[in-house]
Amino acid sequence: MNTIFDPLAQCYSSQRFPIYAREGMINCSSPQAAAAGLEALHWGGNAIDAAVAAASALPVVEPSANGIGSDAFALVWSAKDQKLYGLNASGPAPQLATIQRVLEDGKDDKGKMPTFGWTAVTVPGAPKAWAELSRRFGRMPLSEAMAPAIRYAREGYPCAPNLSLMWKRAYKKYKETCTGPEFEEWYRTFVPEGRPYEAGEIICLPNHADTLEAIAFTEADAFYKGDLARQIDAGSKKYGGYLRYEDLAAYEARWVEPISVNYRGYDVCEIPPNGQGIVALMALNILKEFSFSQKESPETYHRQLEAIKMAFADAFQYVTDPDHMEMDYHRLLLPEYGAQRAAEMGDTAKVYTHAIPPKSGTVYFCCADGEGNMVSYIQSNYMGFGSGIVVEGTGISLQNRGHDFSLDEKDANALAPGKRSYHTIIPGFLMKDGKPVGPFGVMGGYMQPQGHVQVMMNYIDFHLDPQQALDAPRWQWMRDNTVTVESRFAPEMARALQRMGHDLRCDLNTPSFGRGQMIVRLDNGVLVGGTESRTDSNIACF
């Protein structure tokens, strides 16, 4: 590219103010996806139509973090019903996928589920999520809501700086690990010139366009019961995968009742397990036992870190598909249990779990309209481009969510046919006195509940506006007492936390700390939005 600047060379810290709007707002990690949502609103759609437009565009304009073969979750505030709805569009393991079969077939990776290839693929839920949201709450046909996504795929769009960076990282990893014939379609689809895209280059994904068109005009039936399902089945059989047509045809997304914890008068809402939103709620349930007057205080950060470690300790022990959980997950959110855990917290760092969270790739966005409808939505291939599998001639990149299953039958999250894995992607929603405040979310694997806790405390405890709540320097618990912090994290705070037993390390990779969005509705109906400064995020509004 003939440019004299590097768009990733951020020489100066910039100020970003919250955005105010009246009739509609879409906050996305991709400017094109935000524009797609705004287009739906201009055509007479509501916030749910805007969400479908943005969600279906994201596999095209940010394929480094999600795909047509992703899973999805959503929280929807219906202005008509004055109620918050939850949608779980995560897919289960195929019926042929058993621990014994994976081990006997030699499909495991040293006794664990592999990261790449067909074995890690579970039933994709995202296309069903688009159809379900449109059917239940949308105002326009699915084909109209998805029109911008199809146009982007067919006519092309310019590559954004962070998208180019993520593409290059994925390409480097895949060249090292994804070398078999089953991965050839990924290279044909995403690196047709034999190299990743540079910022400003035009990306066209014609196979995506054809597939999205088929999904749009059949309300996703083509993906689950039609030709696309048969193509997925054929690819899986060809390369020894376990996913079959019957798994796709039987799949249905689930409408679920959101779970919540009251934190200082606000109800913080999440999707129930198999999602990990309960981790954020468990941590807040502990933290509400303490008073916080200062954000930039070693005691504040220490208590946040200890609470999140306690919450993850319980989640790794119990959380999986609720149909397979050994206990009622509501018990983990009882006020007395939060108080019990808070009483265990001391003045020095402790180790509560030895689990090592992996990295991931996810897209989160939120939107609202002038009528009062609001959507918190998240979609993911799990790790970047996912399994490395792209179904031939379709552009369908399949997730590798099955990697999180355990091959130890004693574990709560052990692999089983038809079982949904512990899921990292979580949308959030904030309410007060039964009324909606607004949607929020922070994408990024096991960073997500940690990001939710930090953003919510920034807003509720420390009264930061949505943009500042997102911009504040973040920390991330990794394992044992190891914590990474952003380079902007105050050095004196880091030293104080080290004296308290936390093993702090600076991470210059800002995307690893999550990428968030947030909208707050004021009493007069005005929308106030913040968007992530760590990536290519944008707010489209009017």
The pLDDT of residue 358 is: 43
**Do 400 and 390 form a contact (C-beta atoms < 8 A)?**
no
User: Other C-beta atoms within 10 Å of 389: how many?
Assistant: 31
Helix 47-61 and helix 126-137, axial crossing angle in degrees, nearest 10: 160
List, for residues 37-74, the tens digit of each pLDDT value: 999 999 999 999 999 999 999 999 999 999 999 999 99
Burial class (CB in 10 A: 0-12, 13-18, 19+), 11: exposed
- List, for residues 201-257, the tens digit of each pLDDT value: 999 999 999 999 999 999 999 999 999 999 999 999 999 999 999 999 999 999 999
d(CA 371, CA 291): 36
Residue 122 near residue 93 (C-beta atoms within 8 A): yes
The pLDDT profile of the chain, 542 residues, written as one tens digit per residue, is: 667 888 888 777 778 899 999 999 999 999 999 999 999 999 999 999 999 999 999 999 999 999 999 999 999 999 999 999 999 999 999 999 999 999 999 999 999 999 999 999 999 999 999 999 999 999 999 999 999 999 999 999 999 999 999 999 999 999 999 999 999 999 999 999 999 999 999 999 999 999 999 999 999 999 999 999 999 999 999 999 999 999 999 999 999 999 999 999 999 999 999 999 999 999 999 999 999 989 999 999 999 999 999 999 999 888 899 998 888 899 999 999 999 999 999 999 998 753 333 445 688 999 999 999 999 999 999 998 999 999 999 999 999 999 999 999 999 999 999 999 999 889 999 999 999 999 999 988 899 999 999 999 999 999 999 999 999 999 999 988 999 999 889 999 999 999 999 999 999 877 788 889 999 999 999 999 999 988 888 999 99
Spell out the residues 6+ positions from residue 269 whose beta carbon is closer than 8 angstroms to its own: 75, 84, 258, 259, 260, 428, 429, 430, 431
* Residue 154 φ then ψ, to 5°: -80, -40
The whole-angstrom separation of Cα 52 and Cα 44 is 14
Predicted structure pTM score: 0.95
Please identify every residue annotated as catalytic: 362
Q: What single DSSP character describes residue 513?
A: G
Contact 209, 153 (CB under 8 A): yes
Dist. CA 385–CA 98, nearest whole Å: 25
Do residues 380 and 539 touch, judged by C-beta distance below 8 A? no
CA dist., res. 169 & res. 370, Å (int): 40
Rounded Cα gap, residues 429 and 320, in angstroms: 22
Question: What is the maximum span of the chain, computed from C-alpha positions, in angstroms?
Answer: 62
